[in-house]
Chains A and B, each alone.
Chain A
């Protein structure tokens, strides 16, 4: 590898992935994957189900170790960090889980205040003001006293977003943020992602399938398939780059390089017709 891997503060890439290889249960998820996630931009990661998009986010946050390759986040090689260093890095990363992952024992206010209470010794008044600021930003200041089971899916996701940005992180990772949202809630989340990116300068990484939503919000798109980046570029033009992967994925075609069948043995043999076929 000739290109230097390390990212620095003036590096245009906040996250640099090099030669990432992951094998899970004998299945190759990533095969020497390379990717640069630009600083201060909104980057979308798309791909067929099961291609490892969420796994990639877990690698970036150090929740999962790769079999080979490296991931540098803001200059730090994630795999080489000690537990304390990794936790320090994570304080600068917001993560929006697919199912919001709110702490069910706490109300909305305490959920957002949780990271502040764990990592700071701020006075209660300041914590209260910071939490209300973040809840106001996601439009849920009035829901501060509600419990997570009293929230709709869209509201829960916005609370999780408020919690994710409570430390004004440098990087925020959204895992399927649009799933299950009605058009109004979807547009609210889209607007929030764009506003947060512009006002706080946060680097955002979105894992999503909704191309129309991605076109509205993302600056750059990576299409992952077969363990590699098969296409990347501007979300408005990537669909027309002509490759069979983009044509099938963005065109929603049933036939193409994206396999419908999960890898399996011979069909006739499985049905017991192997002898008859011969």
Chain B
């Protein structure tokens, strides 16, 4: 007679169980950080992989987000004769919301999925067990460096995204639509507050999003069933769970930081 696990027959209890397990996994990750310092080279390797290798998509997307934002704002603000404020509005939108959120969503799609798939395949091919057998802690060697790399890379990528978006807005607004260059920059510098918009908006949010996306990606990789189907589902779950977590966390952070 087979003893089965209690059936979790609804989405809510399954999700709660996943969140609980993910929380415990976070504690394990944090406890392994001191041990992972000896694998600094692996952290740098992962930083290159999730950070530097994501630069192209972040830069291109940042550029187009800035361009389209300026295009839309110009047409709306021109109704009220306020096109001179469009540079400032682009900057505030990008720093406060679009920069951290879109960067995190792109990061989840580009780096999060690859982290999950890589760890999942390592599990499926016994590489994680092999490390255990070689007395190498896979949490400290595999999980923590990827988590830390995501944590460090996200704010940097977000800064690059914001810079490219401002550049895109300038390109469309000043070069194409003829907004005065001095007005564009002076309105922006006058209205953007370093603490509220840059520190709270760009850095703090992207740091939180980086932690959440990296945690979900690593957790899904480590807990995936070691099958090809399991890895495929885990990769999908990383994107879905990360996207929901990013948007929900964005609301909470905005509510507290405004």
Q: List residues of chain A with CB under 8 Å of any chain B CB.
A: 25-27, 61, 63, 87-88, 90-91, 93, 95, 97-99, 101-104, 114-115, 118-119, 163
Contact = CB atoms under 8 A, between A and B. Distances in A.
29 contacts: A25-B2, A25-B3, A26-B1, A27-B2, A61-B133, A63-B129, A63-B132, A88-B135, A90-B133, A90-B134, A90-B135, A91-B135, A97-B129, A97-B133, A98-B126, A99-B126, A101-B126, A101-B127, A101-B129, A102-B127, A102-B130, A103-B127, A114-B134, A115-B134, A115-B136, A118-B135, A118-B136, A119-B135, A163-B134
Nearest to A62: B132
A95 B135 contact: no
A62 to B, nearest CB: 9
Given A26-B1, A27-B2, A104 B130 contact: no
Nearest to A23: B3
Contacts of B126: 97-99, 101
The residue in A27, A93, A103 that gathers the most chain B C-beta atoms within 10 A of its C-beta is A103
B196 interface: no
Interface in B77-99: none
A99 B125 contact: yes
Contacts of A99: 125-126
Interface in B118-138: 121-122, 125-127, 129-137
A98 B3 CA distance: 29
A103 B121 CA distance: 11
Contacts, number: 53
Contacts of A91: 135
Nearest to B124: A99
Contacts of A103: 127, 130-131
A58 B121 CA distance: 20
A91 B131 CA distance: 11
The winner among B2, B3, B135 for most chain A CB atoms within 10 A is B135
Contact of A104 (B127, B132, B141): B127
Contacts of B121: 104
A118 B134 contact: yes
7 smallest A-B Cβ distances: which pairs?
A: A101-B126, A101-B130, A87-B135, A26-B3, A95-B133, A26-B2, A90-B135
Given A26-B1, A99-B125, 4 more contacts: A87-B135, A101-B127, A103-B127, A118-B136
B5 to A, nearest CB: 9
Contacts of B137: 87
B42 to A, nearest CB: 10
B133 A93 contact: yes
Nearest to B121: A104
A212 B1 CA distance: 37
B249 to A, nearest CB: 32
Instruction: From B2, B121, B130, B136, name the one whose CB has the most chain A CB atoms within 10 angstroms.
Output: B130
B125 A104 contact: yes
A26 B1 CA distance: 6
A97 B122 CA distance: 13
